[in-house]
Amino acid sequence: MRDTILPATLIAQLNTQLSTMIHEVFQQVQELLATGDFLAICEAVTSLTRTLTDRLWETTLSLILHDQIFLKRLRSWGSQCGWQFVSYQRITVILPSGTRLKITSPFFVKMKPRRGRKKRGPQGRGTHLALTLLGFVDKVAPELAYQAVQWAVLAPSFDVASALLAEMGVVLPPRKLGRLCQRIGGGSVEERVASTLEPGETLSGQRVVLGTDGGRLRTRRTKKGRLRKGKKRHGFYTDWVEPKLFTLHVLDEHGKVCNTHHPFVDGTPRKLPSFLILLETYLRALQIDQATEVAVVGDGAPWIWERIPALLKGLGVAPAKIVEVLDWTHAVQNLNTVLRLVPQKARKHGTVKIRTLKNLLFEGQIPTLIETIQTAFHLTARSKSVKKLHSYFLANQDRMQYQQAEQRKVPLGSGVIESAIRRVVNLRLKSPGTFWTVKRAEPMLFLRAQVLYGRWKTLVKHQRTRAQILFQAFLAHNGEGEATCVLN
């Protein structure tokens, strides 16, 4: 019979220590009851409970990590995954309560390749394989790691999040919070999509509104070349980039966003091809081709209308199901811009009212709108106003059929994606004096979107399930054949 991960003697030892600790806690509480100070009793019970939890963690980790049967199986499983045991190392882990606990943990490094240079992971480091199997994230207990990441993405900065956690007795420096965000939210595109979907969740049979737009954030790119005389650092470039986001909302029969269905929101600060790959992965996983109707809303950015409808058609969405709507507010703003371009003298003698022009725009009568403006203000074909009318309104006239869209109960505006840009990007990643590397901005954008739009619990559940699958694979390993190894 195969050995279990914890032999009976080890389990008995753990039960004995647990009983002893609980007895000590009740004994101290009984002593406090004699004082009659119930506020002190509550504080003491909280403190004792925390102490009990920490001692349980310390005892459990010590018993598991130093058990020879566990180590033997860990070394066998690790070797199948390409990791070699080196020695026990003294490290500090952070428990769910925030307590920093010093333990000794088995340390592994990547095995020597048969050819070429020796590789030991990033900057020569290895990994504590046992802690990874137990769900620790960068030596932080999983429960605390997920809570800390929530604070990190909701707070205006890592410094503020670190200060707020410190008030709760949890000491996590800003750099540590950044690494936790990168570890939890820095997976591949496929992993990101899988972590936001509930099992069996699709958009089949639903009316969907797809919004896309771009924001702004400042990147940090280190300068290369020789260091200038008198300088200690190379410095860095601070280019502005346009992170692109999308939102996928389900519509009810009245054309309103369904609040009972959490939307899908994600994006990337990378180039447009990367964004399209991300969006395509989501749409394919959600079976967008089986949706009853897909309304695409956005502003007048050419990349939206050149790429998104073609992407939907490529995924099997029938053209009759796709409704393109250029945001009504943007259209009115551009109409006002056209009128401001009209010479002041012509505007003074104009006979047309703005309400008449808006009615023509709402009805989708774009040629009539252009003709009315030209006639009312006596504009030539070379005037700036007419050129604007042709380049913006005439080019998008099929997307400006607002009356028809209203009859089909389709949103006329892109407020959902505009709100997402503000909440996800502007309020956190576009802070003054903040510079991001693309590598760090990507997971922050993803995690913040999941927290703000109600899919954080789904993400955490997926991460925990993934950790359980990894641990079950470890338990099932008998030292023969290849091992299933999925490590962060």
Rounded Cα–Cα distance for residues 91 and 80 (Å):
25
Average pLDDT over residues 278-285: 97
Rounded mean pLDDT, 103-108: 94
> What is the pLDDT of the chain when averaged over all its residues?
87
Q: Which of 391, 384, 242 is nearest to 302 (CA)?
A: 391
Structure tokens at 190: 């496929």
Q: What is the pLDDT of residue 347?
A: 74
The confidence score (pLDDT) of residue 116 equals 54
- % of the chain at pLDDT higher than 70: 89
What pLDDT does 122 receive?
Answer: 46
Q: Please report, for residues 221, 328, 439, 481, the alpha-carbon distance to residue 268 in angstroms, rounded to integers and kept in the order given.
A: 17, 26, 10, 39
Q: Is the per-residue pLDDT at 10 higher than 80?
A: no
What confidence tier does 114 reach under pLDDT thresholds 50, 70, 90?
A: low
Identify the residue with better confidence: 461 or 115: 461
The strand pairing partners of 241, in sequence order, are 217
Q: Judge whether residue 123 has pLDDT over 50.
A: no
Please compute the mean of the pLDDT values over residues 290-301 and round it to a whole number: 95
Higher pLDDT, 16 or 289: 289
Residue 486: predicted pLDDT? 46
As its CATH architecture, domain 189-225+233-327+413-454 has: 2-Layer Sandwich (3.30)
Q: If pLDDT is split at 50, 70 and 90, which confidence band does 380 have?
A: confident
What is the structure's pLDDT at 105?
A: 94
* Structure confidence by residue, pLDDT tens digits, 388-416: 899 999 999 999 999 999 999 999 999 99
Would you kindly state where each structural domain of the chain is located, as residue ranges? 1-65, 80-185+455-488, 189-225+233-327+413-454, 329-399
Written in H, E and C, the secondary structure of the chain is: CCCCCCCHHHHHHHHHHHHHHHHHHHHHHHHHHCCCCHHHHHHHHHHHHHHHHHHHHHHHHHHHHCCHHHHHHHHHHHHHCCEEEEEEEEEEEECCCCCEEEEEEEEEEECCCCCCCCCCCHHHCCECHHHHHCCCECCECHHHHHHHHHHHHHCCCHHHHHHHHHHCCCCCCHHHHHHHHHHHHCCCHHHHHHHHCCCCCCCCCCEEEEEEEECCEEECEECCCCCCCCCCCCCEECCEECCEEEEEEEECCCCCECCCCCCEEEEECCCHHHHHHHHHHHHHHCCHHHCCEEEEEECCCHHHHHHHHHHHHHCCCCHHHEEEEECHHHHHHHHHHHHHHCCHHHHHCCCCCHHHHHHHHHHCCHHHHHHHHHHHHCCCCCCHHHHHHHHHHHCCHHHCCHHHHHHCCCCCCCHHHHHHHHHHHHCCCCCCCCCECHHHHHHHHHHHHHHHCCCHHHHHHHHHHHHHHHHHHHHHCCCCCCCCCCCC
What whole-number distance in Å separates Cα of residue 231 and Cα of residue 225?
A: 13
**Whether residue 483 has pLDDT greater than 50:** no
pLDDT tens digits along 145-187: 999 999 999 999 999 999 999 998 899 999 999 999 999 998 8
> For 336-345, what is each residue's pLDDT tens digit?
998 888 887 7
- Better-scored residue on pLDDT, 235 or 72: 72
